[in-house]
Chains A and B, each alone.
Chain A
């Protein structure tokens, strides 16, 4: 169980400030969703937290600055799943998931029995064990997503960073994946930070939302506090209605202007 906090994180790419003094925090075992229009800096912020891009400011795991950790130590705690993971087509699912054990292997070490067992457990959790010998190229989109999550899980992380884990999935598969992440969160005590483009879905799964615009935090808090009509309409330059669903979570729906 690890709490993560980002404090005054700024990322400059090609002299443009893509993320400007962003601060946010998630309690251990919590789920933080980063929202915002295209180009708001969500992916870049996630990459900064993962230590994959240079940033100023601090990112702490349980109050320990991640800058004091080397890449391997950080990889043992944080698992990062990018929006478009690279999947070597000829690698089998088993070999791919085993790559998740990399943070735990010494420089010249090779995966041992314990590593294979952890990888197997991860594959079972994600229900991809029957694909273990199949090449990645021969999987469907949903199966591939699960294989990627299995790899992330195999490294026994405490924090899961997911960049748009469902943007390519239909509503059914999206629900499947998010339910899975939620149960992993509860069963394995994972802390989750994810970017999500669907506002309603974000409100259903995350307990903290952070709304970014132009690299800056516009709002942060519970779904009901952040998913309000004026905020969304101003940040996204869209027309929406926000209603409260039967489970108490806000539902955001686009609205069409009658005269057009």
Chain B
């Protein structure tokens, strides 16, 4: 008996036992904490629970999901999210690549520039929102002041409460915060490209632009894919900036799916309906995650 217990705890002989012991706390802390809520809201999404009648669960089948897909407010939120995701990821990819190429060049103060450019990434989104709200202030904002001074506008504009400008400026603030991550990832990819490749291309008479499209881009394909997928997942979940900058307005012009979901859960207390919305967002995110994991595997 004694020896069998000793054998059980003899991690030296079995990798599997040692691994189980080392991973168990993580599994409890991560999957344990996440699994129960996932099941909870799954059950909830097939019921009719409101905050007011929280103890009173009636099974309603797919009714909440039907409601999600026919709700014009949800369809609006999907459109808002789509606009936001496409713009922000596309802009980050383009300027992220260009800035990364620039930061690969040698110049005075390069390491300082590379260090400073990470700071926006470390800035909490609520702070990012407040910074931009202040700069875009309708009466004393520095942005209005500069635009007027250079003659681009002839009267101050309340950007964040104007239909035309609200979304573009939420995107601007998000690009400001999120581009540094793209730059870091793409720059790391660029640094693995040997100079000899460019040398050979130039000897063959290639121009710099041709070299960029023929050598640089194909060789940073992997970082570009990864940052696109991760950037898309971040963008779906984007909430803080919308909450601080526009609260979804004017009207519902900047109410994205996450804010819409939040409002249904914590403002209107439609718990079952909000859970159904959650599951729609979740399934979409999971499809992107599958793409991410497949890509990582392939590269390995």
On whether the two chains bind one another, the answer is no
Partner-B contacts on A (CB < 8 A)? none
Partner-A contacts on B (CB < 8 A)? none
